[in-house]
Amino acid sequence: MLTIGALLVAVALAPSASAAPSRGLAWLLFVGSSVHVAGTGWLYTIPEVRSHARQHPWRYVFAPVCLVVAGGLAATLVSAAAFGWLLLPYFGWQFVHFQKQNLGMAALAASSRSLAPLGPKERRALKVAGVAGVAGLVAHPSLLQLRVDPGLGALFPVAAMAFAAAVVVGLYLLASRPRSERPAGFCIVYLTSLCFSLPVFVLRSPYAAVGGMTIAHGLQYLLLIGLVAASTQRGTSRVVRLAVLANVALIGGLVLNVASHLHGGDAVARCLFGAYLGVVMAHFVIDAGIWRLRDTFPRQFLSARVPYLLGSSLQRYTSPVDDRSATDI
Q: Map out the domains of the chain as residue ranges.
A: 2-12+27-318
Cβ 150 vs Cβ 191: under 8 Å = no
Residue type at 47 in one-letter notation: P
Provide the CA 278 distance to its chain's centre, in angstroms.
15
Environment class of 232 (CB within 10 Å of its CB; exposed 0-12, middle 13-18, buried 19+): exposed
pLDDT for res 80: 79
pLDDT in the model for residue 147? 84
Q: Quickly list H helices, 177-306.
A: 184-194, 198-202, 206, 212-229, 238-259, 267-290, 296-305
How confident is the model at residue 129, as a pLDDT?
96
Non-local (6+) Cβ contacts of 30 within 8 A are 253, 257
For the entire predicted model, the pTM comes to 0.88
DSSP class of 321 = S
**Cβ neighbour number for residue 27 with a 10 Å cutoff:** 12
CA 39 to chain centre: 12
How far are the Cα atoms of 1, 178, 192, 301 from residue 43, in angstroms, in the given order?
25, 38, 27, 11
What is the residue type of 32? Answer: G
Question: Radius of gyration over alpha carbons of the chain, in Å?
Answer: 20
d(C-alpha 94, C-alpha 282), whole Å: 11
Query: For the stretch 120-159, what's the b/e string if a residue is b when 16 or more beta carbons lie within 10 angstroms of its beta carbon?
Result: eebbebbbbbbbbbbbbbbbbbebbebebeeeeeebbeeb
CA-CA distances (angstroms) from residue 41 to 34, 203, 328?
A: 12, 33, 22
Q: How confident is the prediction along the chain (329 residues), in pLDDT tens digits per residue?
A: 889 999 999 999 988 766 788 888 999 999 999 999 999 999 999 889 999 999 999 999 999 999 999 999 999 998 877 888 889 999 999 999 999 999 999 999 998 888 999 999 999 999 999 999 999 999 999 888 888 888 888 899 999 999 999 999 999 999 999 999 999 999 999 999 999 999 999 988 888 889 999 999 999 999 999 999 998 776 678 889 899 999 999 999 999 999 998 887 788 999 999 999 999 999 999 998 888 877 888 888 888 888 888 876 555 444 333 344 344 44
Region of 201 please: left (phi>0), alpha (psi -120 to 50) or beta: alpha
